[in-house]
Amino acid sequence: MHIISVLVNNHPGVLSRVVGLFSRRGYNIESLAVGTTEREDVSRITLTVEGDDYIVTQMMRQLNKLIDVLKVQNIGARDNVSRELVLVKVGYDSNTRDDIMHIVETFRAKVIDISIDSLIIELTGDNEKINAFINLINKFDVKELVRTGLVSLERGNKTLKEFEGEL
């Protein structure tokens, strides 16, 4: 899996152009997360994609050519910290409540909303942790599930800046 981090000017239509580049070439984006950075005028787009190194390198070069793209880097190839958020609404009854709560405790998740017959669970972690949690919780009455997509930062003092000069 490749984790592509893209710094862009925070302008309307930039996300559409970035995603359009992938869709025009028939390339699937596994996950997408977007948000402003420490600077209000700059956003960070984190794309998770599958594919061989050559194709991903070509996509990164094409991204670099887009107006408003400041920096593109494959941080999946570097030492990084990656996290994702998942919210799951699970139906429960007196027979399943304790088993669900045991899974919540084991994964250090949080119950953030509860009603008479359902609860909403919040969990953050890496892909493996999220997938393991979903595999276990799917044995119960999952009503809804939503994932944010991966967000990542490179470890250490290095930062993703437009003036660093590497692809």
User: What kind of fold does domain 2-78 have according to CATH?
Assistant: Alpha-Beta Plaits (3.30.70)
Q: Which residues pair with 34 in a beta bridge?
A: 45
Domain boundaries, the chain: 2-78, 81-151
| pLDDT tens readout for residues 41-94 | 999 999 999 888 888 888 999 999 999 999 999 988 788 899 999 999 999 999
Give this prediction's pTM.
0.83
CATH-assigned architecture of domain 81-151: 2-Layer Sandwich (3.30)
- Tokens encoding 88: 């799951």
| pLDDT tens readout for residues 100-143 | 999 999 999 999 999 999 999 999 999 999 999 999 999 999 99
- Two domains, one topology: 2-78 and 81-151: yes
C-alpha atoms less than 13 angstroms from C-alpha of 106 in its C-beta half-sphere: 13
C-alpha atoms less than 13 angstroms from C-alpha of 37 in its C-beta half-sphere: 19
